[in-house]
Amino acid sequence: MAVLICGGAGYIGSHGTAALLDQNEEVVVLDNLQTGHREAVMDGAVLYEGDLRDGAVLDIIFQTHSITDVLHFAADSLVGVSMNEPLTYYDNNVGGALNLLKKMKEYGVGRIVFSSTAAVYGEPETVPITEDMPVKPGNPYGETKLAIERMLHWAGEAHGIRSVCLRYFNVAGAHPVHDIGEDHQPETHLIPIILQTALGQREKISVFGDDYPTEDGTCVRDYIHVHDLIQAHLRAVDYLRGGGESNVFNLGNGSGFSVQQVIDTVEAVTGKDIPKEIAPRRAGDPAVLIASSDKARRVLDWQPEQQDLHTIVKTAWEWHQRHPEGYRGGGAL
Ligand code: UDP
């Protein structure tokens, strides 16, 4: 029995790889290393460097290993880029998932946990957001994830492939034990960008808009620790193995922090002043995204352990200090 982790060398996927290895699962990683890092894949996993849209590499994996479950993290995931490159996003995200599902059907693999996103909700009418609220993505990234959710639904109806779609809110932090963390080139996510500013690698942070209808005018997001997020994936795998039917869950902490509050928290954790400038809004950004994760807590019996933003930032800061140049730099350990 082995678990295939598509995108298992990426930021979130590598934490999934580590968690499954930690519970002594046989782990096979497929990653095209476009944004993932070979060094992020912990010893013990078998790594295939290849693309999901390439049927041949999937044939080799499904013929070589007894894959019973799939975790699918591999995708392009930047809202801003997706606004300018929608077709690239459809090609990689929808095309990759389509090919994966075809091969799962061909090889009789019937369980998949899929990385979806809060971006499927677009600009929500109320928060916290529950899973039954309308989905109306405001950007191509969210559209591709929603298209895959629908594809999973129909593949379930017709071919018996059961799926859990996990709609992530804002994932941050680094592994509390293993030496893995967030390294995107170039970095676009708020917390690592502020940490790079704290390290002196950037002059200042650009705050994308201070005229949103929020308390301080900056966007509000729900930040969840990557370790907690991955624990929910383990619960989802168990849920499907236990016969659970296809389902959709939000993963967040249920509390919102503005961009300004995140900057304040990073200043408190690092003890550094973070210079900032107010910049124009970024296309495709909703004002407020806060999750209700009650359903995941109830159905998956999931309980996030590192909910405090200070703790989340602290684990990320520790990793960034050890790896100021990311995986490329090797690290100070
Ligand atoms: N953000 C910002 N400056 C940056 C990067 C992000 O003001 O350099 C804001 C962004 O507009 C959003 C929030 O920080 O409101 C979180 O953005 P991120 O890209 O980390 O995640 P997203 O919400 O897009 O998934």
- CATH class of residue range 190-221+254-328: alpha beta
State residue 73's pLDDT score: 98
In whole angstroms, give the CA distance from residue 206 to residue 17.
Answer: 33
In whole angstroms, give the CA distance from residue 146 to residue 120.
Answer: 6
For residue 274 and ligand 1, the question of a CB distance below 6 A is answered with no
For residue 207 and ligand 1, the question of a CB distance below 6 A is answered with yes
Catalytic residue among 141, 168, 223, 327: 141
Q: Residue 62 is which amino acid?
A: F
**Given its phi and psi angles, is residue 44 left (phi above 0), alpha (psi -120 to 50 degrees) or beta?**
left
Ligand 1 midpoint to CA 190 (Å): 5
Active site residue 89: no
Superfamily of domain 2-172+223-251: NAD(P)-binding Rossmann-like Domain (3.40.50.720)
From the CA of 80, give the closest atom in ligand 1.
Answer: 24
- pTM of the predicted structure, to 2 decimals: 0.97
Q: What's the token pair of residue 81?
A: 């880029």
State residue 208's pLDDT score: 98
Q: What is the pLDDT of residues 100-119, one digit of tens each?
A: 999 999 999 999 999 999 99
Quick one: DSSP state of residue 92?
A: I
Name the closest-CA residue to atom 19, ligand 1: 189
Residues 6+ apart with CB under 8 A from 146: 116, 120, 135, 137
State residue 283's pLDDT score: 87
State residue 331's pLDDT score: 57
In whole angstroms, give the CA distance from residue 172 to residue 269.
Answer: 15
Q: What's the token pair of residue 46?
A: 């078998």
From the CA of 220, give the closest atom in ligand 1.
Answer: 15
Residue span(s) of the chain under CATH 3.40.50.720 come to: 2-172+223-251
Per-residue confidence of the chain (333 residues) as pLDDT tens digits? Answer: 999 999 999 999 999 999 999 999 999 999 999 999 999 999 999 999 999 999 999 999 999 999 999 999 999 999 989 999 999 999 999 999 999 999 999 999 999 999 999 999 999 999 999 999 999 999 999 999 999 999 999 999 999 999 999 999 999 999 999 999 999 999 999 999 999 999 999 999 999 999 999 999 999 999 999 999 999 999 999 999 999 999 999 999 999 999 999 999 999 999 999 999 999 999 888 999 999 999 999 999 999 999 899 999 999 999 999 999 999 877 544
State residue 329's pLDDT score: 78
Residues 6+ apart with CB under 8 A from 58: 30, 52, 99, 100, 103
Find out whether 205 and 263 touch, Cβ atoms under 8 Å. yes
Name the closest-CA residue to atom 15, ligand 1: 219
Residue span(s) of the chain under CATH 3.90.25.10 come to: 190-221+254-328
Name the closest-CA residue to atom 18, ligand 1: 189
